[in-house]
Amino acid sequence: MSGTNDRKREYARLIINLGVNIQKGEPLVVKAPIEGADFVRMLAEEAYSRGASDVHINWYDDKLTRMKYDNAPMAVFEEYPQWRADAEKYYAEKGCAFVSISAVDPEVLQGVDPKKIAAFNKAAAIANKENMKYTMNDLNSWCVLSIPTSGWAKKLFPELDEQEAVDRLWEAIYEATRMNMENPLKAWEDHLKALAERVEYMNKMNFRSLHYKSSNGTDLMVELPQGHIWSGGGGNNAKGDYFVANIPTEEVYTMPHKDGVNGVVYSTKPLNRSGNIIDGFRLVFKDGEVVEYSAQKGEEFLAELFDMDEGAKRLGEVALVPFSSPIEKAGILFMNTLFDENASCHFAFGKAYPTTIKNGPDMSDEELSEHGVNNSLTHVDFMVGTSDMSIVGTSPSGDLIEIFKDGEWVV
């Protein structure tokens, strides 16, 4: 048992020291499943040992969430408590770091009235619209990670009993986050350096557009706005402190031009949307907007996503991930976007990160729009990578340069 706790402790230390890189005097806000209380205590201990001034926990519980959706009237989901949004703003303005543990049962809301889910998602997004700037503009350090919960683990490993499933998921998470290596911190330093080299190359090339093709039917042209910036691995917050926003992370990403996406793209992994699965979907884009769509499963939840606002039907992120990533090699469909997006090239519906265009954090919404930057209340990643994906970039001079071949980096 002590060995198990040692690894959890090392993982918690990685999140605090590298993930959010908590600084002396900073508060820490943690969103966490109540099942993870022991691990959250480790996070708090590590944060306080680094000089954190306060550690505030926002708990959630899948069973209570399901109970609420089954019993509460629609009016409850149409109004988001203002005090919750105010509390987040309070800590953000004090310079807090945000840790979010993404560990929801992928089918916790299966069978729930989709109108209730849509109402809550929209109300929460509207109430927290101003709060999005603290993380989307990297004003504060933030990190998304995961730990096992029994409901999620049993969905992935139904043949195992509950504890065995949780233990198996811990091992999968350790593997995906390089915690199974002899020196995880050194492994992360090497990995972040490699990502930085990819980022440097893509920024140097300054491609005008990317052309995606796969044998599954994907044939999509993605225009990139002038002044776009590629990012990946870690970055700096407003105070200049380095942090890593996703653990794991395998992507090199930027924003597309909101009006410059044309063609068809097929999803290649299920998308967990608010406790429901959307799978096997096909999207047709014209001048940046989804004009036609279908899904083999969960089409109603795809419709709910697109009904969020005007920007939800447009793309806000384009991310490159080799098919040979450690998450893909693990051979596990996590049904959790944090992991599955890092196993595959992906896009995101909705809001673009202002940090991925020159001077973006200093622009108003109107100025961002004029530069081709998408705005929305939502940001939802979906996976499109395949083992035979080809991505060809068009250089500023019009040359065609192969970036990905057979799902892997060429350069």
Tokens 């691995």 found at? 233
Query: pLDDT of 362-399, one tens digit each?
Result: 999 999 999 999 999 999 999 999 999 999 999 999 99
- Pinpoint the residues of the chain covered by CATH 3.40.1830.10: 2-176
Whether 121 has a pLDDT exceeding 80, the answer reads yes
Q: What is the DSSP letter of 78?
A: T
- The pLDDT > 90 percentage for the chain reads 94
Q: Which amino acid is at 256?
A: P
Reported for 340-343, long-range contacts at CB under 8 A and 24+ positions apart, including other chains, are: 340/269, 340/270, 340/383, 341/251, 341/381, 341/383, 342/176, 342/246, 342/248, 342/249, 342/250, 342/251, 343/250, 343/269, 343/383, 343/385
- Mutual angle of helices 299-306 and 114-127, in 10-degree steps: 30
In sequence order, the 6+-apart residues with CB closer than 8 A to the CB of 89 are 130, 131
**Residue of higher predicted confidence among 220 and 328:** 220
Cα 181 from Cα 175, distance rounded (Å): 8
Distance of CA 301 to the CA centre of its chain: 18
pLDDT of residue 329: 82
Cβ-Cβ contacts under 8 Å for 219 (sequence gap 6 or more): 212, 213, 263, 264
pLDDT tens digit sequence for 22-44: 999 999 999 999 999 999 999 99
Say what the pLDDT of residue 3 is: 62
- Tell me the whole-structure pTM to 2 decimals: 0.90
Q: How far apart are CA 300 and CA 274, in angstroms?
A: 12
Token pair for 111:
């069978």
163-193 confidence digits (pLDDT tens):
999 999 999 999 999 999 999 999 999 999 9
Pairing relation of β-strands 142-145 and 209-213?
Answer: unpaired
Is residue 2 pLDDT above 60, yes or no? no
Confidence at residue 5, expressed as pLDDT on a 0 to 100 scale: 85
pLDDT, mean of residues 119-143 = 96
pLDDT in tens, 189-239: 999 999 999 999 999 999 999 999 999 999 999 999 999 999 999 999 999
Distance CA 144, CA 177 (A): 12
Q: % helix / strand / coil in the chain, to the nearest 5? A: 40, 25, 35
Query: Where would I find the beta strands (DSSP E) of 12-139?
Result: 27-33, 54-60, 97-101
> Over 90: is that where the pLDDT of 272 sits?
no
339-349: average pLDDT: 94
Indicate the CATH number for domain 2-176: 3.40.1830.10
Mean pLDDT of 129-133: 95
If pLDDT is split at 50, 70 and 90, which confidence band does 273 have? Answer: confident
- Better-predicted residue by pLDDT, 324 or 77: 77
Q: How many CB atoms lie within 10 A of CB 220?
A: 24
pLDDT at site 62: 95
Nearest in space to 257 (alpha carbons), one of 209, 212, 292:
209
Which is nearest to 191 in space by CA: 181, 204, 203, 201?
A: 181
Rounded Cα gap, residues 163 and 151, in angstroms: 11
Helix intervals (H) in 286-364: 299-306, 326-329, 337-340
Alpha helices in 138-293 (DSSP H): 150-156, 162-176, 184-205
Q: How far apart are CA 321 and CA 405, in angstroms?
A: 12
Can the peptide bond before residue 248 be classed as cis, meaning omega within 30 degrees of 0? yes
Residues 403 and 210: their CA atoms lie apart, in Å, by 9
In the prediction, which pLDDT does 4 show? 74
Average pLDDT, the chain: 96
Q: pLDDT by residue (tens digit) across 87-102?
A: 999 999 999 999 999 9
Backbone angles phi, psi at 295, to 5 degrees: -145, 140
Q: What is the sign of the dihedral through the CA atoms of 336, 342, 345 and 347? A: positive
DSSP character at residue 252: E
Between the alpha carbon of residue 13 and those of residues 46, 126, 168, 273, 315, the distances in Å are 6, 34, 21, 30, 35
What is the pLDDT averaged over residues 16-27? 98
